[in-house]
Every structure is written in C-alpha cells, then in structure tokens.
Amino acid sequence: MRKEYDLGGGRRGPVAPVAKGKTRITIRLDDEILDWFRARVEAAGGGNYQTLINDTLRQLVGSEREPLETVVRRVVRDELRRQPARRRAGRRVAAA
C-alpha cells in the first residue's frame, strides 16, 4: 500500500452512468416492502428488484384511478360484511 495516492484525475459521481430517461434518487421504503419485492424477483429466478418496483409504479400510474368516493364506499361495505351482527338500542342490526 502506498503512503500517498494521486486522485487528481478522479471524477465525482456514480460509478456507473445512469441510463437516459432515469434519475437516481434516494428513497426510504419499509423493510417489509423491500423484502416482498426481493422475494418476488428471487421466486422469478432472478432479476432486479428496483426494476420490479419501477414497473409496479408505472402500472399504478398508468391505470385509471377510481374516484375516492367509490373506494371509500367499497372499503366501508367490505368492513361491514366482516363485522358480526350487533345489538344497538334494543334492536338487532345486521351487517350490510
């Protein structure tokens, strides 16, 4: 090992150039999310989990968005179906 190294010709930045149309960012994701994507890539026989995340986000962005009112109604109905029948104010109320 040398006592000194000449780094005068060095350049700052990523080691590998970023592909055209891509932007390198830093993002914080839950460990469970990363584990899920990595497991899917591994189950598929290999690949890049970042590409899978990108493809998933592209699919979400490209899909037609359901109106918020429709989503809320569906969620409330699903939750009501899961709840057992309850008694309120002396009468029985069945789940919708």
Structure tokens at 80: 């009501």
pLDDT band at 91 (very low <50, low <70, confident <90, very high): low
How many residues belong to the chain? 96
In a domain, 3, yes or no: no
- Return the sign of the alpha-carbon dihedral for residues 38, 44, 45, 49: negative
Q: Which domain holds residue 57?
A: 21-63
Q: What is the mean pLDDT of residues 42-46?
A: 93
In a domain, 94, yes or no: yes
27 and 49 both lie in a single domain: yes
Contacts of 85 (CB under 8 A, 6+ apart): 92, 93, 94, 95
In a domain, 1, yes or no: no
Asked if residue 55 lies in contact with residue 43, where contact means CB atoms within 8 angstroms, the answer is no
Beta carbons within 10 angstroms of residue 40's beta carbon:
14
- For 58-89, the pLDDT digits (tens) are 988 877 777 888 889 999 999 999 887 765 55
pTM value surpassing 0.75: no
